[in-house]
Amino acid sequence: MQNKAGKVLGGAVYVLPNLLTSGNLFFGFLCMIRALDGQFTWAAVCIFIAALFDMLDGRVARLTKGTSEFGVQYDSLCDAVSFGVAPAFMLYQFGLFDVGRLGWAACFIYTACGTLRLARFNVQSSIGKAGGDFTGLPIPMAAAAVASWILLMDAIDSPSGGYDWLPAALLDVVGDQRLRNIFMLLLAPALGICMVSNFAYRSHKTIRFKGIKPFRMIVLVTALIGLLTYQTELVVFVLSFGYALSGMVEGIAGWRKPIEDDDIFHATHEDHAFDGHDDHVKPSSAEDHR
């Protein structure tokens, strides 16, 4: 296996990033096992652990200069399982099986849109147009929204969940399984539409905290950590759904322009090469995929 410079990769430089990617796949698979057993809190936690491994494999690959085309493809396939199939399966097991065909149809829409999102990102990366902000909601963040919802509902259902401070009337509404099923029937396809949309979602690489002094930033981060410690599920739910809605809100409000993606169906590199115009195609970058 060779990296972009043409050097042969071997040893830990090549193996470690792909082992981390395997960790991503393992926890995505474990999520489904836990959901089958009715252990939904652990199933949701597995999604977040899979996302952590997904973040680490790219960082390690870049730090060790061990990026490879194999790693790119393996990472994408694992993401399809961990963030496309596993969250949909968890939603179905959590209650959507009660509504029959509508339930699994909604889950399928989520999975299909997530897979399409990954395919579009891979093509955009191969032609050098995946830098900057994200086109559509990233699939790990869509999975995080699903997992945060499951975590919050499971915590509310638990006597020791720490949400007895909520009004009884609100707890009755949130605890109604029929209303939960309606919410999930809307949630799954809505997240799918966000993933395949052209709305621009901010990347951590493009976020700038201008005007915020370092001391105030420390205070804000400390306060967030305190809230996470006190009401972990609620804070994670608000953050996950806030991000999932952010691109759509900014796009509808006209604050950010949609990103064009028509070029993903242009001729392949091989077609350009055959026509003698391969100079118009940018080389694939494994680092962009990671």
- What's the mean pLDDT in 93-98? 92
Q: Please give the mean pLDDT across all residues of the chain.
A: 83
Q: Which amino acid is at 95?
A: G
- 11-20, 33-42, 100-109, 237-246: which range is least confident on average? 11-20
- 145-149, 161-165, 248-252: which range is least confident on average? 161-165
**140 with 240: CB under 8 angstroms?**
no
Q: What is the pLDDT of residues 9-63, one digit of tens each?
A: 455 567 888 899 999 999 999 999 999 999 999 999 999 999 999 999 888 888 8
The DSSP secondary-structure symbol of 37 reads: T
Instruction: Provide φ and ψ at 2, rounded to 5°.
Output: -120, 150
The CA distance from 79 to 67, in Å, is 17
pLDDT score for 280? 36
164 phi-psi bin (left φ>0, alpha ψ -120 to 50, beta other) = alpha
Chain centroid to Cα 98, Å, comes to 26
pLDDT score for 123? 86
Beta bridge partners of 201: 134
Beta bridge partners of 8: 2
**142 with 244: CB under 8 angstroms?**
yes
Q: What is the pLDDT of residues 257-288, one digit of tens each?
A: 887 766 666 645 444 433 433 333 333 343 34
Angle at 181 between CA 177 and CA 183, to 5 degrees: 115
Question: Which residue do the tokens 């939904």 mark?
Answer: 40
